[in-house]
Amino acid sequence: MLKERLESVKCFKTAWGRLITEEEAYTQVNRQIAAVCANLFQVMRIFEPSWEKRTEAICEVANMMNMAVAGTPEEQKAYVDMSLYEAFNIPELCEKSSWLGGITGDSGDEWENMAGRVIQFTRDRVEKELDTCPWDIVGSELCNMTTSMFTANFDLASSNGTENEVALNMCQARGCGNKHCRVVAERRDRYGLPKQEWLEHMQQPVDPIHDTPRERMVKEGQCLRNGQYTQAFGEETSLEKAYHWVAQMGWVWSVQFPMMAIREMAPDEDEFLRVFRIVFATAGKNQFVEPFAREGLRQHLGVPRWVDDNDGRLLGSYIMYMLDVQQVPYRTERWTEDETWICLKTEDFTARYEMAPLDELVDAYEAQWNGAAKTLVSPEWSCVIEGRDDDDMIIKVIRREDLRMV
């Protein structure tokens, strides 16, 4: 007897009808956020030539913002109690003790497709090892910045009020060219270690435990391997939930937090935006400068042969794809060989996480997509975003003379 119908899986359709699976889209959103972060960090390096100064600055902000998310010191303690109890159920794991901070990072890592494992988890020591990191292209400043965020987790979980008891080190980092990321927290009283400054968090641990050999490393996080993340105590997160969490929150820590510090590095607002747009425009042009990059995109989106290489819908469909991947709702208003208009709520685009709007995303993507128009289609084409200060905005891919092309 024949099947009555095909089985269904979760996908979205590109503008040309090709299906993109949830797994592909989830992989793409993680890498896309990392790409925006990488561009942003180039802006930072232009404004602040000192590695130490810029790293310290983003560490400071990221730590402060992580603490602030939890509210007042009293609210911070309650926040930790509640979130840990929700996550782990087991009262011992909700005990206010800094070592706990180490395990809370595990779920966030896996949701962001950072594939790895908790190597050791005791009262005195936590060691976490990652085999992959979508953010491994950004640079060592970001690796350092993550330690400042972990520090906030440890501070929040501390039994000493809000000052943690551990020495926390990212002993290895994919972003520094190592085989693994390795984060180790060791209790200072147990190991006789001093309290650390922001730039002292990439040292070696006192008591290294294990190094996973290459043949047993994994290439994808649990959500892709197994369809869900399950932490050691059985709590589960579906791929769907992890994907949505990343689409909301991934921007907050990797783009918004450092952005706050980087704006301060610029001499003024205009200069920040000038350099910011130049960097993103360059990234956009480079995206499709190679013929095989254009060919690859056509294949990925399912662009039919009859669509000419100088058709603006190539870029229009790429932008729609990127919005779908990022779970940003939109409506196609015009879709002809002369123009593409994509309408969306400004808030949906800028405030992926409602509490943390990121208006700079409009500048970033306008510059990047405009740059991409020149190489993906041709210099006859431009991308502009209109209505950014209104409730609704329109992303337009149009033919336009551009006498001062950036």
Binder of other proteins out of 11, 46, 199, 217 (CB under 8 A): 217
Q: How many residues bind other proteins (CB under 8 A)?
A: 31
Q: Which residues lie below 8 Å from residue 28, measured CB to CB, with a gap of 6+?
A: 325
225: contact with other proteins by CB under 8 A? yes
The C-alpha atoms of residue 45 and residue 49 are separated, in whole angstroms, by: 6
Q: Among 230, 310, 332, 336, which residue sits at the site for other proteins (rule: CB under 8 A)?
A: 230
User: Minimum distance between the CB of residue 179 and other proteins, rounded to whole angstroms?
Assistant: 12
List residues bridging with 334 in a β-sheet.
Answer: 341
Query: Near other proteins by CB under 8 A, which window of 9-17, 146-154, 221-229, 350-358?
Result: 221-229
Q: Which amino acid is at 179?
A: K
Q: Considering the rule CB under 8 A, would residue 124 count as an interface residue with other proteins?
A: yes
Instruction: Identify the residue among 42, 60, 83, 120 touching other proteins (CB under 8 A).
Output: 120
Query: What is the rounded CA–CA span in Å between residue 66 and residue 152?
Result: 6
Q: Is 122 in the site for other proteins (CB under 8 A)?
A: yes
| Residue 212 contacts other proteins per CB under 8 A | yes
| Buried-state track 228-260, b at ≥16 Cβ within 10 A, e below 16 | ebebeeeeebebeebbebbbbbbbbbbbbbbbe
Question: Using CB under 8 A, which of the segments 164-172, 213-221, 289-297, 314-322 binds other proteins?
Answer: 213-221
Query: What is the bridge-based pairing of β-strands 181-187 and 125-130?
Result: antiparallel
Interface with other proteins in residues 67-96 (CB under 8 A): 89-92
**Alpha helix positions (H), 236-394:** 239-251, 257-265, 269-287, 291-301, 313-325, 346-350, 360-376
Q: Give yes or no for residue 27 binding other proteins (CB under 8 A).
A: no
Site for other proteins in 232-251 (CB under 8 A): 232-234
- Binding test (CB under 8 A) with other proteins, winner from 4, 7, 197, 215: 215
User: Given the complex with other proteins, which of 217 and 406 has the nearer CB atom?
Assistant: 217
Q: Are 204 and 171 in contact (CB under 8 A)?
A: yes
| Sign of the torsion angle spanned by Cα atoms 102, 107, 109, 114 | positive
Distance CA 368, CA 158 (A): 43
The only residue of 15, 25, 37, 119 in contact with other proteins, by rule CB under 8 A: 119
Segment interacting with other proteins, rule: CB under 8 A, options 2-10, 49-57, 141-149, 222-230? 222-230
Nearest distance, CB of residue 115 and other proteins, angstroms:
9
- Residue from 6, 9, 194, 219 touching other proteins (CB under 8 A): that is 219
Q: Which residues of 360-399 are buried (b: 16+ CB within 10 A; e: fewer)?
A: bbbbbbbbbbbbbbbbbbeeebbbebeeeeeeebbbbbbe
7 touches other proteins (CB under 8 A): no
126 vs 138 by CB, closer to other proteins: 126
Contact range with other proteins by CB under 8 A, out of 61-69, 116-124, 143-151, 387-395: 116-124
5 near other proteins (CB under 8 A): no
Of 290, 288, 344, 320, the C-alpha closest to 397 is 320
Cα 212 from Cα 15, distance rounded (Å): 43
DSSP at 72: S
To the nearest whole angstrom, how small is the minimum distance from the Cβ of residue 128 to other proteins?
10
Q: Are 183 and 169 in contact (CB under 8 A)?
A: yes
Q: Which spans of this chain sit near other proteins (rule: CB under 8 A)?
A: 89-92, 117-124, 129, 209-210, 212, 215-220, 222, 225-226, 228, 230-234
